[in-house]
Amino acid sequence: MQYVMKGGNPLVGDVVIGGAKNAALGILAAAVMADGPVIIENLPDVKDINALIGAIAAIGARIERLDRHRVKIDPSTINTVKVTGDAVKKIRGSYYLIGSLVGRFGKAEVELPGGCNIGSRPIDQHLKGFKALGINTEVARGMVIAQSNRITGGHIYFDMVSVGATINIMLAATLADGITTIENAAKEPHVVDVANMLNSMGANIKGAGTDVIRVKGVKALHGTTYSIIPDQIEAGTFMMAAAVTKGDIMVKNVIPKHLEAITSKLLEMGCQVSEFDDAVRVVGRPKLTHTHVKTLPYPGFPTDMQPQITVALALAGGTSIVTESIFENRFKYVDELTKMGASIKVEGNVAIIDGVESFSGADVTAPDLRAGAALVLAGLSADEHTVVDDIEYILRGYERFDEKLRGLGAVISMVDNERDIMKFKLEVI
């Protein structure tokens, strides 16, 4: 599938942000640990989330879709701890079922996680954490097999800050005997959201949002109703869209505090940013100012916003440097952006960007989720038509992306064949 678009319109208006995909993955996994039904609200309707819900249904949980953004999960009917299938292999978040299933049932067999190809993505820290809790793990035939007769609290010091490992160990420690201390924990908003959700089921987790998390094991978890926080990265993508298209966007239903690293870069680039209780307004400017960016764990600048800010800086006056310090292979989209006229040189994990006046439309391919979204932003600012191919990646994490962009004045359409691309190009001149 492709997005075809005609760039040039400044994006103007309001956009409403959905629930955080990466929080939702942890929260869905947590739901399988409850003794009673769990209702999850503000769930994004995106492919990765629907794949994980499918995996939870496949192990026997009863799933009821209350509406597009609410689901009821009754885990009392789970009849296996073996999680397999194509959908599971493709997503990253399936690894949270290792922590939650072994935590609740003492055993889990989960297909090795996939996810975006943005560099090697080992799970050694997850396995090291499980070991500290008395959980044995083995990787065989593409499956992670985790097992324990008695999960006990332990002390874990992560070698690097890992969102996934922090959430996974929190899940596994929730029903353990005794207290678990996680040091050098990830502080991302979605880590806090998963902890809050577990606490609403009766868990005893303190310190989430700092780099030391303490989990006091409890005997059981009960059902709950929980609403997921807004998606920091979806919000950031639309904020950056205002900068890239010289627009004026009110990004609604956000937690401005979670966006501060992005806001501060937009200000350095000369945009106007106004914060409200649950919204931020970004006004672009005719010529952006160059700046330097280094991706870091929260509260640093998020790696998941690196491609989008690179697109903006590629249109800024002067030279900018973007350093990717989380994933080693997250500049693959730069070749595609070069086809649109960007002047960027990548050396290792550093991109040196010489700003150009404008992009020209081209046929490009999304290499992963966030880079795909970034190429769409580039296309919306470009002269002429742009086709972004392989948008399946984008659909994994952005709900109704094209519809939301059209609401801001973008001329963009989702298509799945050459004929429709031709038709769009002939109709939209």
Asked if 308 touches ligand EPZ (CB under 6 A), the answer is no
- Do residues 294 and 255 touch, judged by C-beta distance below 8 A? no
Task: Locate all alpha helices (DSSP H) within 187-227, ordered by sequence.
Answer: 189-200
What CA–CA distance (Å, rounded) separates 94 from 115? Answer: 9
Asked if 401 touches ligand EPZ (CB under 6 A), the answer is no
Of 266, 231, 208, 270, nearest in space to 398 by CA: 231
Q: Phi and psi at residue 51, in whole multiples of 5°?
A: -65, -40
Q: Phi and psi at residue 353, in whole multiples of 5°?
A: -115, 120
Q: What binding mask, one character per residue, do residues 245-284 give for ligand EPZ by CB under 6 A, x or -?
A: ----------------------------------------
Q: How far is the CB of 71 from ligand EPZ (least distance, A)?
A: 18
What CA–CA distance (Å, rounded) separates 59 from 52? Answer: 11
Asked if 92 touches ligand EPZ (CB under 6 A), the answer is yes
Of 35, 133, 65, 137, nearest in space to 95 by CA: 137
What CA–CA distance (Å, rounded) separates 362 from 376? Answer: 11
The smaller minimum CB distance to ligand EPZ, of residues 122 and 318, is found at 122
Asked if 122 touches ligand EPZ (CB under 6 A), the answer is yes
CA 40 to chain centre: 18
The count of chain residues that interact with ligand EPZ, using the rule CB under 6 A, is 24
Count CA atoms within 13 Å of residue 365 on its CB side.
4
What CA–CA distance (Å, rounded) separates 173 from 166? Answer: 11
Q: How far is the CB of 48 from ligand EPZ (least distance, A)?
A: 7
Which residues does residue 38 pair with via DSSP β-bridges, in sequence order?
A: 73
3-state helix, strand, coil in the chain (%, to 5): 35, 30, 35
What CA–CA distance (Å, rounded) separates 81 from 429? Answer: 55
Q: How far is the CB of 121 from ligand EPZ (least distance, A)?
A: 5
According to CB under 6 A, which one of 165, 194, 244, 266 is a site residue for ligand EPZ? 165
- Do residues 372 and 397 touch, judged by C-beta distance below 8 A? no
Catalytic site includes residue 116: yes
According to CB under 6 A, which one of 162, 174, 196, 232 is a site residue for ligand EPZ? 162
Of the residues 116, 145, 186, 376, only one is catalytic, namely 116
Asked if 124 touches ligand EPZ (CB under 6 A), the answer is yes
According to CB under 6 A, which one of 111, 231, 304, 399 is a site residue for ligand EPZ? 304
Asked if 93 touches ligand EPZ (CB under 6 A), the answer is yes
According to CB under 6 A, which one of 2, 10, 20, 22 is a site residue for ligand EPZ? 22
Asked if 326 touches ligand EPZ (CB under 6 A), the answer is yes
Asked if 369 touches ligand EPZ (CB under 6 A), the answer is yes
Question: Which part of the chain contacts ligand EPZ (CB under 6 A), choosing from 78-86, 124-132, 220-228, 353-361?
Answer: 124-132
Asked if 303 touches ligand EPZ (CB under 6 A), the answer is yes
Residue 404 identity: K
Tell me which residue has its CB nearest to ligand EPZ. Answer: 164
Give the catalytic positions in this structure.
116
Binding site for ligand EPZ (CB under 6 A): 22, 25, 92-93, 116, 121-126, 160, 162-165, 186, 303-304, 326-327, 369-370, 397
